[in-house]
A and B are shown apart, each in its own frame.
Chain A
Amino acid sequence: MSSQANVLFDTPGPRARLRNNILTLLATVAILYALYAVYAKFDARGQWEGRIWQPFLEPYTWTGYIIPGLLGTLKAAGLGAVFALIFGAVFGIARLSDHRWIRLPAGMIVETFRAIPLLLLIFFLFYLAPSVLGGGDYTLIALVTGLALYNGSVLAEVVRAGIRAVPRGQAEAAYAIGLRKGGVMRLVLLPQAVTAMMPAIVSQLVVLLKDTALGYIIAYVDLLNYGFKIIPAVHFGSLIPAAIVIGVIYVGLNMALSALATWLEKRSRRSRKTSAKPVVPPGAAVAPGVGSSTKAIVD
């Protein structure tokens, strides 16, 4: 952060510098104290013993537990993402249909699935599947279906917003050169909309990836399940080390995806492939008003 372009506070003078230094000192002491309190608590409960951290140095902990768990998480996330994208594309376009009998039911379905708490949906599917399909292991199916229906509905809104963000003149010009409805959508609107909604889609995929952890509750064998149930059961007392390790993996994965979203957003802002403005991820930011100079106060 540069000192000159700041809006909320001036370049500090002597008194403000002194005050800042005192505040920095106090804040540092407070943060160090908080870290120490955590350390002391861990120490008091014997969480620094080498015995419980030892398992994470053994290759088998990784090849036998963490990597299979990660693969389980990625499998659910991957399948969920594919189906959510299909659902989102179909219903997003259906909501823009000229026919009321397509538009209204599509709107109702999207709004309903968006309003259902995801865990309730997953539980429901988990209990529904055996009575419809007969016995078997439905954890993955329930998890993926729930993720796809919920995130697909959110993505449908993103798709709708993305197509609407393409200036009206584009569609008018396309009709004027004699394209039909399908052609206008496929050749003109969608390609531009996809560029505009890419960042929002990737942010929603981060949400989807995080939500795969709900599988833990219906005993789907994912990263969280290995970390909280299987590893502590095999290596007694290793719950907190395991939680820290899998926490780092989740945070790393999600941060990488978020970074991709930010990069895509920057790219599509200066892209000339689309005339549409980037779609804001649902539930997130409103359009920045002050722009560049206030960037300094928030970064």
Chain B
Amino acid sequence: MDDLIKYAPDLLAGFLKNVQLSAVCAVLSLILGTVLVSMRVSPTPVLRAAGTAYVNIVRNTPLTLVLAFSALGLSDTLDVTFSDDPGSNSFWLVVLGLSLYTATFVCEALRSGINTVPMGQAEAARAIGLTFLQSLTMIILPQAFRAVIAPLGSVIIAMIKNTTVAIAAGYLAESAFVMKDTFDDTGVSIPIFLGIVVAFMIITLPIGFLTGWLANRLAVAR
């Protein structure tokens, strides 16, 4: 317990980095996931194929590989960098890798949401002369989003937990690294581990409850 109190400032600073990563990645992956799902249901075969290929490849790649590649491959070998400061460079590399990875799961969730929209809705949209993009953005996607709030919540929770893998991209500031660093100092400490776990639960459990509640409240009455 003394260890937990002694290292609390470091641990908290590390955890706040996880929160930052989560917030940025959540926004980016939701946007990119929506774009991907629009591609996958579009009338243009090339876009459909590109979307499907992207989702199938990235979804089946381990996140550790994606993040390690973004650091060792993209940044170190191909010289794609975001910033001259190594800390902020690796932060954005994690954001890039984690968002690209999570977007595929957002896309899959939304796709199953589109499946729940009754055919009549799309037919009616077409009948009043809406184009594909209009019926998608005004009729289909709003209902699809409301149908998959709970699964999207699970995707976001999984993403928040995945921010700990940032260490694979050489980002040495968030909880997993701070915990490892502290263990190197003091040896294994159960209170420190539990403290970090509880911190994650304080974020993830309310998101689970909130999305569950929203899913009921915003469910499309049919």
Q: List 26 A–B pairs whose Cβ atoms lie within 8 Å, in order of A's numbering.
A: A8-B132, A8-B135, A24-B44, A112-B197, A115-B200, A120-B175, A120-B193, A123-B180, A124-B179, A127-B183, A127-B187, A206-B60, A210-B61, A211-B62, A214-B64, A217-B167, A240-B77, A243-B72, A243-B73, A251-B60, A283-B105, A283-B151, A284-B112, A285-B108, A285-B109, A297-B41
**B27 lies within 8 A of chain A by Cβ:** no
> For the complex, what is the distance from the CA of A240 to the CA of B79, rounded to whole Å?
13
- A7-50 CB mask vs B (1 if < 8 Å, else 0) is 11110100010001001100110010000000001100101000
Which residues on the A side are within 8 Å of B79 (C-beta)? 45
Q: List which B111-126 residues lie within 8 A (CB) of chain A.
A: 111-119, 122-123, 126
Q: List which A184-223 residues lie within 8 A (CB) of chain B.
A: 206, 210-214, 216-217
**A288 lies within 8 A of chain B by Cβ:** yes
Which residues on the B side are within 8 Å of A206 (C-beta)? 60
Which residues on the A side are within 8 Å of B179 (C-beta)? 120, 123-124
The smallest C-beta distance from A22 to any residue of chain B, in angstroms, reads 10
Asked if A27 and B47 make an inter-chain contact with CB atoms under 8 angstroms apart, the answer reads yes
The smallest C-beta distance from B71 to any residue of chain A, in angstroms, reads 10
B interface size (C-beta, 8 A)? 73
State the majority secondary structure of interface residues on B.
helix
B→A interface (CB under 8 Å): 40-41, 43-47, 50, 56-57, 60-65, 68-69, 72-73, 76-80, 105, 108-109, 111-119, 122-123, 126, 132, 135-136, 140, 147-148, 150-151, 154-155, 158, 161-165, 167-168, 175-176, 179-180, 183, 187-188, 193, 196-197, 200-201, 204-205, 222
